[in-house]
């Protein structure tokens, strides 16, 4: 998928290859382009902060435990669960599933395990039902 992304820092539109990957984000990329991230990392105050983090393992552990805290986890989940994020994901999955190589591999999988369309529909229904149950827990 090669599309243009707008950097939220410099505001320029750039190909997604110029953005670092970030699997925690819905679109899979960081918000700032690589050039902006580099400029940020090289700021004297940020460099000093990163150095102090490197020098102090307990500071690092503290930062990590903050990111892993229930509040932060809930915030990350809320970000992923926003209606527009869900719509983006749905659109992405639709485009992904429409790719010929993905279609071919899905068809090969169904054939290999001799899965009928009925069995597939049943499994899919069961999956979404289970997902709904676990999400409401």
Take residue 58 and report the two structure tokens written for it: 């307990």
Segment lying near Zn ion (by CB under 5 A), choices 1-9, 57-65, 87-95, 109-117: 1-9
Instruction: Give CA–CA dist 86/79, Å, rounded.
Output: 10
Query: Sign of torsion, CA 46 52 50 59?
Result: negative
Take residue 133 and report the two structure tokens written for it: 């149950």
* Residue number, 40 or 109, with CB nearest to Zn ion: 40
Segment lying near Zn ion (by CB under 5 A), choices 26-34, 94-102, 112-120, 127-135: 26-34
Binding residue (CB under 5 A) for Zn ion from 4, 6, 10, 106: 10
19 sits near Zn ion (criterion: CB under 5 A): no
* Residue number, 10 or 115, with CB nearest to Zn ion: 10
- Which phi and psi angles does 33 have, rounded to 5°? -70, 165
Binding residue (CB under 5 A) for Zn ion from 9, 25, 27, 34: 9
Between the CA atoms of 33, 61, 72 and 23, what dihedral angle is there, to the nearest 10 degrees?
40
* List of residues contacting Zn ion (CB under 5 A): 7, 9-10, 33, 36
């Amino acid at each position: 998928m090669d599309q243009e992304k707008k950097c939220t820092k410099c505001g320029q539109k750039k190909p997604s290859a110029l953005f670092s990957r970030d699997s925690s984000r819905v679109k899979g990329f960081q918000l700032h382009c690589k050039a902006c991230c580099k400029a940020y990392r090289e700021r004297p105050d940020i460099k000093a902060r990163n150095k102090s983090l490197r020098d102090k393992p307990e500071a690092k552990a503290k930062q990590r435990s903050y990111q892993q805290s229930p509040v932060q986890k809930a915030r990350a989940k809320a970000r992923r669960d926003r209606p527009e994020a869900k719509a983006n994901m749905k659109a992405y999955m639709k485009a992904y599933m429409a790719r010929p190589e993905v279609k071919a591999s899905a068809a090969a999988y169904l054939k290999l395990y001799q899965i009928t369309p009925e069995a597939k529909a049943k499994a899919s229904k069961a999956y979404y039902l289970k997902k709904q149950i676990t999400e409401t827990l």
